Chain A
Amino acid sequence: MHSEVPPAGEGAAGNSATGNAGGAGAPGGAVSVATPPPPGRPGPRAPYRAPTAQLVLTFFLPPNLTPEAVKYDRRYRTLDKYRFISWFLAVPLVFYLLLVAWPFVQAFYYSLTDWSGYGTEFNFIGFGNYTRLWNDSQFWDATRNSLVLLVLAPVITLALGLFFAYMLNAGGRHRKNETVSGVYGSKFYKIVYFFPQVLSVAIIAVIWARAFSPRSGVVNPLLENVGLGGLTQSDWLGKYGLWVTLLVLCWSFVGFYVVLFSASMGSIPKEIYEASLLDGANRSTTFFRITFPLTWDAIKTGWIYMGIQALDAFAIVSIMIPRQGIDVLPTFLYLKAFRDGDAAYATAVGVVLFLLTLTFALIMMRVGRRDRIEF
């Protein structure tokens, strides 16, 4: 994990600069080293200020064309920093605006029309599509299913991922010369857990659909063999589509988080564990007091990523779940756009999905904000 604190020298310089700007009458020692003031400049009590228009202009000019007047402004240092960053980000920013932001704007526009997706003419109908959505029970079913997945899939996947990663890294019995170690064969398990990530999602969906087949699948016989014959179903995917989707989603992503969290846990210094063990901490204490807080950043990132995966789930649901089963928002969108030739309505669903994803990401970033622990 990287430290966010800048190197000492730079920090000191920054501090003195800020001190200068705010402080009354402090001699401009550090500043004058960086930018020697021109002769005849105003005294230290009235710092020189370049015209705002010039400052703004400078932002868009390459450094060698910076107007002389601006160079001696105190604010030039900050401006230079942000100019440096944004110029380097300019190309990706343009791509982002063009390929991500602009299509979103377009999508919102098309959602206000009655475009079928197959013609060149359409009418502007205001919020008609949204009114239709509000009264469409199929849409609400799909939304409910997507929200259930959004809440449950990250909780289950991340909890399992954390548990497995902890067992693989610090859960084993104590061995000679090792403060903490994983369970026996942890390297092998790591590969096994990661295996679903190697498979294409289409293959995963097909395999699980076979497993749940009431005639040739393995799930029903398995239940019978362990004495739970009463739980067998003649239509798993149709009746319990949501829960099967949840299972497959978690199964296919847990390995990724085991590896992610393992990497994160691997960077926790062994001395911390050592010290806590000397103090008599048991495994659960070590987990909740040391491992969990120190992997929080990875968990937070993982949560958002998994949430977005759960809101998608398109491939799994559309391949695995029959029509009597469930829809999620993306599959509902697909049906409306491509089967029913109702592209504008589908775009309205897309806008709802976009807002949902955005809200989720914002909430997660707020909730997940904690003090970062440096080590």
Chain B
Amino acid sequence: MTSSSHVNRRTLLKRSALAGALTIPGVAALSSCASGGGGGDGDTTGPGEVTDSNPFGVADDGDIEVVIFDGGFGDEYARDTARIFEENYGSVKLDSTQEISQLMQPRLVGGTPPDMINNSGANQMPHPALIRDNQIADLTELFDAPSWDDPSVPVRDTLVPGTIEAGQYGSEAVYHLNYAFTVHGTWYSRKFLNEVMEEEYPQTWDEMIRVCEKAKRDHDVYGWTYAGQHARYLSFTLLPMAVKIGGKQVLEAIDRLDEGAWKQDGVVAAFEAFEEIAARGLLLPGTPGIDHIDSQTEWAQGKALFLPCGSWVENESKEVIPDDFDLAVGAPTGLDSSDALPFGTIYAVAGEEFIVPQNAANRAGGMEFLRLMLSKDMARNFTEKLSSLTCVQGAADGVDLPPGLTTAQEAIDAAGENIIAPRFRGWYPELFIDHMGVAMGQMMAGDLTAAQATDRIQQEADKIAANDSVEKFL
């Protein structure tokens, strides 16, 4: 298409007016805007020799292009990885941007994507759509390949459980590698709770109410606050609580968009528990209208005791968290001893998605870059530099972690099998953000009861289940 428009331009420029010359390539460009490119084939293997240390056969001089989301993690870790990559193979062209979607969407559609994309952040491209259009390569090859550190162990055995599942969409294929491991839960100042209030972290809801009332009465500190404008943050505590009460099938039903999934006893009980917090006036006043930064700041200043958040809070709010805060994360408090799962059940999931485009020129190189990132050295480097756990097992061992992350690591160890990760969050973002999140916020603001909130979410989940234009993954 490009060459033909050049010919047109050249011949036309000689003969016709400037306007006419501008028309032709312009029309060509516009009409090609959704119909360029083409599907890639299934074979990833590159032109190089396939060995245990080069399982994808990347050519010795094979150049690759990677694009990194320049968000909270920056791009330094990727540049470190690129340096090692270049020692073994060709050069790495590394770009970092916050506008992943704006820059990458046209290239994917045009059939000329880079070899690896860190598809994360506020401008990430929706994975379900990318998968439907066959734009992402299946990473199963990567997980079956020998690991960087020990060729006798495949990559999949070096990862924290749940990592591979996080990239699956209803089939065996794995479409993205989730690199950073995030622990969601109830964050608090251990110093304030243990030393000032002389209390332990509450494990039943009666305890929770008592501790919150005591904090308010004796210390003028409210029990809870959360990111009111992004009320879905409540689910970081509320959903694992529902699972703890009702068992793992609670979340499976929700992920499947089952009829009545949101009306299960465990879900309604968890909603009612949080409704009680609001009804008893234990919620920091004004919380429904503040954003995540405000809520984290007020909480760090000691205006509220507990905050539902993820392990990024330690880094994101480090400017406002006092040095002697002794940050800790607690697994969600349950109802009582009759709960289906033990205390410790936690919402932990690998995030920060990395994809290899199906039509990448050097797909083998993109996979190899990811395999290198999953080496122990690179993962440790990531944890040391960015205070974040990775999906690589044991990579944080011996690393001097900040207090919050240390407790996060402990929480994962304590949870054992009882780690949950809601999948509908990535599959049906509209349900997670617009319906569940909003209904939770309205309940905390006192506009809806727990029953009404769950009714509303159920209605919307039913609508999505019935909507044929939304792809289902289970």
What is the distance, in angstroms, from A167's C-beta to the closest C-beta of chain B? 36
In the complex, whether B22 has a CB less than 8 A from a CB of chain A is yes
Q: Which residues of B contact A64 (CB under 8 A)?
A: none
Contact of A120 among B38, B231, B430, B442 (CB under 8 A): B38
Interface contact B134-A213, CB-CB below 8 Å: no
Which bracket fits the contact residues of A? 35 or more
Q: Which residue of B lies closest to A122 (CB)?
A: B34
Interface contact B22-A118, CB-CB below 8 Å: no
With A214-B285, A234-B445 as given contacts, are A119 and B438 in contact (CB-CB < 8 Å)? Answer: no
In the complex, whether A323 has a CB less than 8 A from a CB of chain B is yes
Interface contact A323-B101, CB-CB below 8 Å: no
In the complex, whether B291 has a CB less than 8 A from a CB of chain A is yes
In the complex, whether A110 has a CB less than 8 A from a CB of chain B is yes
Considering only residues 414-450 of chain B, those with a C-beta below 8 Å from chain A are 429-430, 433-434, 437-438, 441-442, 445
Question: Bound complex: CA of A118 vs CA of B104, how far in Å?
Answer: 10
Interface contact B30-A341, CB-CB below 8 Å: no
Considering only residues 103-134 of chain B, those with a C-beta below 8 Å from chain A are 105, 108-109, 111, 123, 125-126, 128-130, 132-134
Interface contact B129-A342, CB-CB below 8 Å: yes
Interface contact B289-A323, CB-CB below 8 Å: no
With A116-B129, A214-B290, A215-B286 as given contacts, are A323 and B434 in contact (CB-CB < 8 Å)? Answer: yes
Interface contact B35-A323, CB-CB below 8 Å: no
Interface contact A116-B132, CB-CB below 8 Å: yes
Interface contact A323-B230, CB-CB below 8 Å: yes
In the complex, whether B8 has a CB less than 8 A from a CB of chain A is no
In the complex, whether B23 has a CB less than 8 A from a CB of chain A is yes
Q: Which residues of A contact B230 (CB under 8 A)?
A: 322-323
Q: Which residues of B contact A302 (CB under 8 A)?
A: none
Contact of A340 among B22, B26, B126, B284 (CB under 8 A): B126
In the complex, whether B228 has a CB less than 8 A from a CB of chain A is yes
Interface contact A118-B105, CB-CB below 8 Å: yes
Interface contact A234-B288, CB-CB below 8 Å: yes
Interface contact A121-B430, CB-CB below 8 Å: no
Contact of B289 among A122, A235, A335 (CB under 8 A): A235
In the complex, whether A338 has a CB less than 8 A from a CB of chain B is yes
Q: Mark B273-303, 1 if CB is under 8 A from A, else 0.
A: 0000000000011111111001000100000
In the complex, whether B5 has a CB less than 8 A from a CB of chain A is no
Q: Which residue of B lies closest to A215 (CB)?
A: B286
Question: Bound complex: CA of A90 vs CA of B123, how far in Å?
Answer: 40
Q: Which residue of B lies closest to A92 (CB)?
A: B19
Q: Which residue of B lies closest to A121 (CB)?
A: B133
Q: B-side binding surface: helix, strand, loop or mixed?
A: helix
Contact of A213 among B125, B290, B433 (CB under 8 A): B290
Q: Which residue of B lies closest to A338 (CB)?
A: B101
Q: Which residue of A lies closest to B359 (CB)?
A: A120
Which of A17-25, A98-106, A189-197, A268-276 lies at the binding interface?
A98-106
In the complex, whether A114 has a CB less than 8 A from a CB of chain B is yes
Q: Which residues of B contact A214 (CB under 8 A)?
A: 285-286, 288-290
In the complex, whether A236 has a CB less than 8 A from a CB of chain B is yes
Q: Which residues of B contact A216 (CB under 8 A)?
A: 294
Contact of B23 among A94, A115, A120, A235 (CB under 8 A): A94
Q: Which residues of A contact B342 (CB under 8 A)?
A: none
Q: Which residues of B contact A339 (CB under 8 A)?
A: 126, 429-430
Question: Bound complex: CA of A234 vs CA of B289, how far in Å?
Answer: 6
Considering only residues 271-330 of chain A, those with a C-beta below 8 Å from chain B are 322-324
Interface contact A322-B27, CB-CB below 8 Å: no
Question: Bound complex: CA of A132 vs CA of B434, how far in Å?
Answer: 18
Question: Bound complex: CA of A153 vs CA of B109, how far in Å?
Answer: 39
Contact of A341 among B26, B109, B128, B298 (CB under 8 A): B128
With A212-B289, A324-B442, A345-B469 as given contacts, are A117 and B231 in contact (CB-CB < 8 Å)? Answer: no
The 9 A-B pairs at the shortest CB distance, nearest first, are namely A119-B133, A341-B129, A214-B286, A322-B229, A235-B289, A341-B126, A214-B289, A235-B288, A116-B129
- Apart from A98-B27, A120-B35, list 6 A-B contacts with CB within 8 A: A102-B27, A118-B105, A214-B290, A234-B289, A323-B230, A341-B130
A-B contact pairs, 15 of them (CB 8 A): A103-B30, A118-B126, A120-B111, A120-B133, A122-B34, A132-B469, A213-B291, A215-B289, A215-B294, A235-B228, A238-B445, A323-B433, A323-B437, A341-B129, A341-B132
